[in-house]
Structure 1
Amino acid sequence: MQNLRPLSQSLSQSSQLAATTANPPAAHPQTPSLQSPQQLFQADQLHPLSISISPQPISNNTYTTFSSQQGKKLEIPLYTTYGTPEHFTVRGRVIEAEASTPNSEDNWLDNLRRTAHQLHAEDKEHLWVDVNVMGKTYRTQTDREGFFELQLRAPGPVKPGYYPVQAQLEPGQKHYYAPPAQGRIVIQNPHEKSMGVVSDIDDTIQVSNVTQKSQMVKTFLLKNPYSQQAVPGMAEFLTALDQHADGEIDGDVNYVSGSPLNIAPRLETFLTLHGFPQGPLDLKYLGLSSKSDSPTEQLNYKLGKIRTLFETYPNRNFVLVGDSGEKDPEVYRQIALEFPGRVQAIYIHNVTCSDPHSQRFQGMVAFDTADQAGADALARGLISAQQEASIQNAVRHPQN
């Protein structure tokens, strides 16, 4: 099950394997009530995930919720992001609203229709959106794929943790309305020594059957957050690691997955329903722009996302959690080599039933069930005995 040699020693002995991953490829319309502020961008020319703006607030502490329900109904998914007091991102999208929300009584056809909507929902371009965060309200405009993004800094000193975000359409636009949206961002101090967690999603915390492609597609299309199975004990394991980081459950777990950004609301609902700690979601943008992520590339995609995370918090060490179904062992090995001394442990859910002592898992803990990972984390001082017992109990008495 385990290989407890020091991580740096084991990784250096596997440098030949790492060499294969060492060199990855690297005029506004006017709002009826306000003049266009500096934060508005040329929506036809800029891609939402590469916008760089210096927004000016339109108001301080005067965010007013509008309740008009005239026109076509839209919705505003807000994506959980991470940042620092000096720089954080608010990101969202305006799309056609779903006809219904998922529930435990949905059948496979309900789930199929909803998944199809999530993947192909009509996005709404050039709509004005008011975003409220940290007591200030900003107005921005959606781009041609319905996205909006603000690059901001905190107005003053802030503590690490979750911060709420609200967004709504500016009223009176093109006969549309949308319920006010609620979301969150996670702020961490880049200057303090601390611990974070990087976790994959598919087959690491939820049963996705990635190694069986036909079953994977069936699971993706025909399940919803209620019927999607969680890997027993993994919610308790990640919660224990999050709490160990600073004594609180406050966004120390970063989820990095190859799932499409379109299903972020579905994944966040899954996390909530199954008791996982909430945290930032780094998902693939699959769109028409040249900035679109490859739907099949995993290794370089994940390397880029995790490198950015490590560089954002240069004084933070990390525990990396993934599975053996795709490229997590190779990605995590490369990260540990690039950032020596900053990876405290690597846990790999052995969904391929591979030899846990094989070269692929050198310096890592390949586990079959979450209680095995919990026992190792206890031995390393990463969780408490009480937390380890809760992981064991969850594995023995799964709630799925």
Structure 2
Amino acid sequence: MRICAYRGYATRRQALVSGRVLSNNSPGELRGSESLWHNLLNSYRQFETDEVPHASVALRFESQEHTVQTDAEGYYHAELPRIEQSDETWLTAEARCMVRGEELSATDEIVAPTSDAEFGVISDLDDTVIETNITSFLTAAKLTFIGNAKTRKPLEGVAALYASLQSGSAGRPVNPIFYASSSPWNLYDLLCEFMALNEIPHGPIFLRDWGIDRTKFIKARGHRDKLDRALKIIGDFPELPFVLVGDSGQQDAGLYAEAATLYPGRIKAIYIRDVDPATATHRDDQVREHIKTAAQHGVPMLLAPDSWAMARHAAELGLIPARKEAEVQVEVAKDQERPNPGAAAVAEALGIESLRAP
């Protein structure tokens, strides 16, 4: 049994924390050398969660204690008032719960932007930070249900790009990064491990509820949840402008263009990573239409082939120092030399001879 505490964030008035109480243990450390069966078993454990509904969770934050109840699927959510103002960019809340005579505890990490923050970043994950190749169903299936944090690959230059955005012109990590994805909450631990392994700046990760039974699988609203989450974050930090980052494989450009129409003076830039930059597709045409929409509201949107193009544009806008562009360029080149878990990996994992390279 365990409490899976999710990273939250704090405004000047309150801290938003959440987590889930589960009766099954964490899948444990994942190793890239594990067998297909071991990875399949761990993937099943991630999706087949045994939640603890209607449990009392005590949350201690800034010398105050609050009690909340988990919902029918074991989630807890709380908005905790802030009574102290700190210069720390990360705060913590302690979560405790008694389940079947066993006391569980966990720490909720909370990002708390200070007055030094120049802007915030809201980013997608799938095919924006982590390579899932969502436009190829089999590759996406392999990476979601079979792969683990050590067999997945970040998009080239992501770590350097996001570190540059996080530091801005301050030279230290003062700008908060929020990640919003259509991936299920069951992958939270894996995504945290992946980002730590690849030195990608950590921040709150907002996912959605999936499962392997019918009711959970159809519950989520899809990509619209990402926009709702982005709009809430933007609304919770009225003093901060934002940079939005997504990809062309899903609906990010349209969602972010809508955000630009709602908050035209609050969005500094929108970056859309082209999931297949070597090929002109209908998706590219759709993104270009959304670029026009954003431009009408004074918001620049870029369809970018890689992290270097984003860094170059960000440097031109003054979001990052010019020297950081060169650092991102170097990392892009390094990452391009890393093994790519593409169709061949899918074929090997699933035993599909026809997809294997000749």
Whether the TM-score (by the shorter chain) exceeds 0.5 is: yes
| Residue in 1 that maps onto 2:208 | 284
| Residue in 2 that maps onto 1:15 | none
CA distance in 2, matches of 1:207, 1:291: 25
- 1:331-361 CA distance string (max 9 Å, x none): 1111111111211111111014347684344
Contact 2:125–2:181 under 8 Å retained in 1: yes
TM-score w.r.t. structure 1 length?
0.73
* Residue in structure 2 matching 1:393, options 327, 330, 334: 330
Contact 1:195–1:245 under 8 Å retained in 2: no
* Residue in structure 2 matching 1:182, options 94, 107, 110: 107
* Distance change (3 Å), C-alpha of 1:97 and 1:276: same
2:4 aligned with 1:85, yes or no?
no
* Distance change (3 Å), C-alpha of 1:352 and 1:104: closer
Calculate percent identity across the aligned residue pairs: 26
* Distance change (3 Å), C-alpha of 1:133 and 1:251: farther
Higher relative contact order (CA 8 A, sep 6+): 1
CA distance in 2, matches of 1:99, 1:350: 33
- 1:253-272 CA distance string (max 9 Å, x none): 11111111221121111111
Matches within 5 A, 1:42-57: none
CA distance in 1, matches of 2:92, 2:208: 23
| Residue in 2 that maps onto 1:227 | 151
Contact 2:166–2:176 under 8 Å retained in 1: yes
Structure showing the higher helix proportion among its residues? 2
SS in 2 for 1:236: helix
| Number of aligned residue pairs | 322
2:142 aligned with 1:142, yes or no?
no
Q: Unmatched 5+ residue regions in structure 2?
A: 293-299, 339-358
Post-superposition offset of 1:135: 3.7
- 1:26-49 CA distance string (max 9 Å, x none): xxxxxxxxxxxxxxxxxxxxxxxx
CA distance in 2, matches of 1:129, 1:383: 41
Post-superposition offset of 1:138: 3.8
SS in 2 for 1:194: coil
Please tell me the residue identity of whatever aligns with 2:178. Answer: N
* Residue in structure 2 matching 1:371, options 300, 304, 308: 308
- 1:302-342 CA distance string (max 9 Å, x none): 22111111111112111111100010111111111111121
Matches within 5 A, 1:319-338: 319-338=243-262
CA distance in 1, matches of 2:77, 2:216: 15
- 1:75-134 CA distance string (max 9 Å, x none): 211111223131222211111103532233323322221121111111123444343333
| Residue in 1 that maps onto 2:46 | 118
TM-score w.r.t. structure 2 length?
0.81
- 1:46-78 CA distance string (max 9 Å, x none): xxxxxxxxxxxxxxxxxxxxxxxxxxxx12111
Q: Unmatched 5+ residue regions in structure 1?
A: 1-73
CA distance in 1, matches of 2:117, 2:71: 38
SS in 2 for 1:316: coil
